[in-house]
Amino acid sequence: MSLDLAIIRAAHERIRPFIKRTPVLTSDALDAAAGARLFFKCENLQAAGAFKSRGACNAVFSLTDEEAAHGVVTHSSGNHAAALARAAQLRGITAHIVMPAGAPASKVHNVGSYGGWITFCEPNLTAREAACAQVSARTGATIVHPFDDLRVAAGQGTATIELLEDAPDLDVILCPVGGGGLLCGTAVAAKALRPGIQAIGVEPALADDVAQSLRAGRRISIPTPATIADGLRTNCTGEKNFPIIQQYVDDVVTVSEEAIVAAMRELWEKLRIVIEPSAAVPYAAIREGKLPVAGRRIGIILTGGNVDLATVPWLKS
Amino acid sequence: MSLDLAIIRAAHERIRPFIKRTPVLTSDALDAAAGARLFFKCENLQAAGAFKSRGACNAVFSLTDEEAAHGVVTHSSGNHAAALARAAQLRGITAHIVMPAGAPASKVHNVGSYGGWITFCEPNLTAREAACAQVSARTGATIVHPFDDLRVAAGQGTATIELLEDAPDLDVILCPVGGGGLLCGTAVAAKALRPGIQAIGVEPALADDVAQSLRAGRRISIPTPATIADGLRTNCTGEKNFPIIQQYVDDVVTVSEEAIVAAMRELWEKLRIVIEPSAAVPYAAIREGKLPVAGRRIGIILTGGNVDLATVPWLKS
């Protein structure tokens, strides 16, 4: 399986009953500040609070009944885990979620609220992958990787179909980059629907493995990054994703931690929505002048809105 | 002039180019907690961050060219002031805004950002009304009262037309009550479009002048209330509004300050949007069990999202 617009369109049809059509917001004040027209696709308002519901639903509803009967399994403590648990609940099957011991109670609760079965493991990638493989071997559950799975990437690309329906004449489309599933889906859909568009990924400078990988021409792995953008703390982009990124993505730029927090606060204030730090990363690139934006029409995927409101980053208690 | 559906529909046509069609959000988690179906009309995502843009645009664009040439004037430091300044800017006329000396810098900035001309006065109602009358006498500007003006109330009612288009079969519609302009527009529109619907206003218990007035059968004035819901700190409902409220509104209930803060936080977390304390007041009534909601379909107007993010109420620094 590769990834193309037909596959992403099929994913869109498949998941439509299970996801929300999220609004695209604009702000005269933000446009004036940027000297550009900005179109924010609000996936923070998506079911389970993140675009991850798209990829998870596509993976789960792509399974045959035979496969589905054995459930699904993933290792993630974040938005993919909650989204997969929700998708499995909607199909009436079991989702096994491998989480590191010591994961925040709010994340455990979140997965539990969608009926996910949680397996705890040591907090490192080797232990997580081993636990995931064990659960799969024992139960027959299909592994649904958070990003290195083209069914997942196809689902993530459906946000771009909707964004380009609502704002057809974009010059640029921006999204954050963690493992690269969203970036693949976004770039493939955007380039097919609007060939002249630029597709650009944005990473925290502390988590710049994809920028490094593109320069090196091969996947570079980095130690788990300490960025505030907790959705983007991946070590290395996916094996399936990297060639797609090389082929379709125009550039990947990086932003500072300070710019991420400032962008997050500005979007809360001016758009009046709650977004998580990872979702602020593309707008941070505009704020930091990392992209030529003057006079252009720019689509931005706001990826999620799951934050702990007891610890707003600009209000350290 | 009275208020009826035809007038509100005409207002909707008049203001359509100048306002946003705001989304209606739902949340499975909030529905499960309430045991009801909740439909949140997101006027926090309205232009200038509040439903006030509807009434202000209707008032400004109802003026004859002759009237408009002299500008408009109001006394308000809040969302109506910013909305009126914006509406006047869109029509290319002057908005004079009378604000109390010592108004927060953010509110002064907000009005200024839309080109409003600010006149400062002593911080009491008598001084504000006197200053407003003086400006009007000197310039010929039309006074646009924040709530006791049926052009304003008609504009506010347009949110209900949209809400009932998106969620046609509501059993109840809820909105906060300050001066009563929104409540009048909401109740008149809702009852005309769906005769069986209940229209209920919600006030902070600290600002219960309308609940008192309905019991007394006459307008009761109270000292300026100290509620955290800064948009609802009115002394007395409007003279034009009160008979409409008596005729069309089924009930006005009150909520505690604690419930307002808890509701605000819960809506930020579960809907992933930023709302101001006043906007949380109707949901606070559901949380506090002030309304029979079980199994019903309830529309809630989330009135605005203008908050100072440096002082989130559950994060006192």
Q: For A127-167, what is each residue's pLDDT tens digit?
A: 989 999 999 999 999 999 999 999 999 999 999 999 999 99
Nearest C-alpha in B relative to A114: B29
Q: What is the pLDDT of residue B101?
A: 86
> Quick check: B317 and A315 CB within 8 A?
yes
Give the pLDDT means over successive 10-residue stretches in chain B (317 positions): 93 98 97 98 97 98 98 92 97 95 84 94 87 96 96 98 98 97 98 98 98 98 93 94 98 98 97 97 97 97 94 79
Q: What is the pLDDT of residue A316?
A: 67
pLDDT at A317 over 60: no
Helix residue spans in chain A (DSSP H) = 5-15, 28-34, 52-62, 65-69, 79-91, 105-113, 125-139, 150-166, 181-193, 209-216, 241-248, 257-271, 277-287
Q: B178 — alpha (psi -120 to 50), left (phi > 0) or beta?
A: alpha
Distance between B227 CA and the closest CA of chain A, angstroms: 22
Q: What is the pLDDT of residue B272?
A: 98
Residues A133, A174 within the same domain: no
Which of chain B's residues have a Cβ under 8 Å away from the Cβ of A315? 310, 312, 315, 317
The single residue listed with the structure tokens 């002299």 is B70
Residues A39, A96 within the same domain: no
* Spatial separation of the C-alpha atoms in residues A37 and A30, rounded to whole Å: 8
How much is the mean pLDDT over chain B?
95
Which of chain A's residues have a Cβ under 8 Å away from the Cβ of B272? 44-45, 49, 273-275, 305-306
Give me the amino acid identity at A98.
V
Distance between A109 CA and the closest CA of chain B, angstroms: 13
Distance between A140 CA and the closest CA of chain B, angstroms: 30
Residues A181, A284 within the same domain: yes
B268 shares contact with chain A (CB less than 8 Å): yes
pLDDT band at A301 (very low <50, low <70, confident <90, very high): very high
User: Would A148 be classed as within a structural domain?
Assistant: no
Residues A165, A291 within the same domain: yes
| Mean pLDDT (whole number) for A105-130 | 89
Residues B163, B179 within the same domain: yes
The residues of B that are catalytic are 52, 77
Residues A89, A46 within the same domain: no
pTM greater than the 0.90 cutoff:
yes
B89 shares contact with chain A (CB less than 8 Å): no
* Spatial separation of the C-alpha atoms in residues B102 and A249, rounded to whole Å: 52
- pLDDT tens digits, residue range B112-152? 999 999 999 988 888 989 999 999 999 999 999 999 999 99
* Spatial separation of the C-alpha atoms in residues A157 and A297, rounded to whole Å: 19
Residues B271, B185 within the same domain: yes
CATH number (domain holding residue A104): 3.40.50.1100
A185 shares contact with chain B (CB less than 8 Å): no
Q: What is the pLDDT of residue B165?
A: 98
B221 shares contact with chain A (CB less than 8 Å): no
B29 shares contact with chain A (CB less than 8 Å): yes
Distance between A179 CA and the closest CA of chain B, angstroms: 24
> Quick check: B49 and A265 CB within 8 A?
no
Mutate to test the interface with B, among A272, A307, A308, A311 (most CBs of B within 10 A): A272
pLDDT band at A1 (very low <50, low <70, confident <90, very high): low
Residues A130, A166 within the same domain: no
Residues B125, B73 within the same domain: yes
Domain boundary residue, one of A81, A110, A143: A143
> Quick check: B272 and A49 CB within 8 A?
yes
Q: What is the pLDDT of residue A174?
A: 98
> Quick check: A315 and B314 CB within 8 A?
no
- The domain in which residue B169 lies consists of 5-50+153-315
User: Would B106 be classed as within a structural domain?
Assistant: yes
Size of interface A-B (CB pairs under 8 A): 58
Residues A157, A279 within the same domain: yes
- Of B23, B275, B309, Cβ closest to residue A265: B309
User: Would B30 be classed as within a structural domain?
Assistant: yes
Which listed residue (A52, A107, A240, A290) is catalytic?
A52
User: Would A222 be classed as within a structural domain?
Assistant: yes
Rg (CA), chain A: 18
Write the DSSP symbol of residue A119: E
* Spatial separation of the C-alpha atoms in residues A14 and B134, rounded to whole Å: 64
User: Would A183 be classed as within a structural domain?
Assistant: yes
How much is the mean pLDDT over chain A?
95
pLDDT at A283 over 90: yes
Q: E strand or H helix at A97, and its extent? A: strand A95-100
Domain boundary residue, one of A143, A165, A196: A143
Q: What is the pLDDT of residue B104?
A: 80
Nearest C-alpha in B relative to A25: B45
User: Would B148 be classed as within a structural domain?
Assistant: no
Nearest C-alpha in A relative to B275: A272
Q: What is the pLDDT of residue B301?
A: 98
Residues B40, B80 within the same domain: no
A32 shares contact with chain B (CB less than 8 Å): no
- Residue B145: closest CA among B59, B274, B257: B59
Residues A46, A60 within the same domain: no
> Quick check: A29 and B305 CB within 8 A?
no
> Quick check: B25 and A44 CB within 8 A?
no
- Residue A182: closest CA among A213, A146, A207: A146
Neighbouring C-beta atoms of residue B265, cutoff 10 Å: 17
Which listed residue (A76, A77, A136, A278) is catalytic?
A77
- Number of domains composing chain A: 2
Which of chain B's residues have a Cβ under 8 Å away from the Cβ of A86? none
Q: What is the pLDDT of residue A274?
A: 97
Nearest C-alpha in A relative to B23: A23
User: Would B197 be classed as within a structural domain?
Assistant: yes
Q: What is the pLDDT of residue B96?
A: 97
A309 shares contact with chain B (CB less than 8 Å): yes
Domain boundary residue, one of B82, B109, B143: B143
B272 shares contact with chain A (CB less than 8 Å): yes
> Quick check: A312 and B315 CB within 8 A?
yes
